[in-house]
Amino acid sequence: MKDAGETINVAFTYDRKLWRRAMTGWWRSVVPNAPFAQRAIFWAVVWGAIGFLAGAITMFGLTPYYVLAGLAGAGMLIGVFAYLQRTRMARFWDVVGAHWDRAGETRAVFGPEGIALTDQVSQRELAWSAVDAVVPVRGGTVFRSGISMTVVPDAALPEGLDAKRFRGRINQWRQG
């Protein structure tokens, strides 16, 4: 970063809760939420199809109890999957956290050319063309570049610079 007068300097450490929220921001920057009406129609069609299938099965001599037992079994499988996913994600965050604990404090310099990130285990520089999305999350800002992300906590911003103005300045630089 050339002109120190035009740069924004921040320093921060890993915050597990913020990174979990950031992952949601990262995901939504890739696959945004569908509009409510679209989701409502989708689920109405899904449940209509399940109801139709349940009715069709009973026409072939199976009692509704079998249909209910099948739905309960599907619900149990979904519950087991959700439990396993939650425990796996906890392990994932432990591994990510161990890396960031080794990295220590991250120093980031944002400027007209891009981002320079330095910590105790790595140095990275990203031109603005490498930053695919800048997404707000509660407590911070997510920078997505491909499958990687950087999360800048709002609390790390320089005094007098709020998150909205920070993202505004970033977006000005990104647009050139």
Q: What is the pLDDT along the chain (176 residues), one digit of tens a residue?
A: 444 458 999 999 988 788 777 877 666 666 677 788 988 899 899 988 888 887 787 777 777 777 778 888 988 999 999 898 888 877 877 887 788 788 899 999 999 999 999 999 999 999 999 999 998 999 999 998 988 888 999 999 999 999 999 999 999 999 98
Q: Against a cut of 0.85, is the pTM above it?
A: no
Between the CA of residue 5 and those of 10, 111, 118, 138, 173, what are the distances in Å? 14, 9, 19, 28, 14
pLDDT of 4: 47
pLDDT of 124: 93
What's the residue count for the chain? 176
Burial label, 18 (beta-carbon count in 10 A; 0-12, 13-18, 19+): buried
pLDDT of 64: 73
Per-residue b/e over 107-138, b at no fewer than 16 CB within 10 Å?
ebbbbebbbbbbbeeeeeebebeebbebbebe
Token readout for 4 is: 């120190």
Burial label, 3 (beta-carbon count in 10 A; 0-12, 13-18, 19+): exposed
Token readout for 13 is: 């450490």
- The amino acid at residue 153 is P
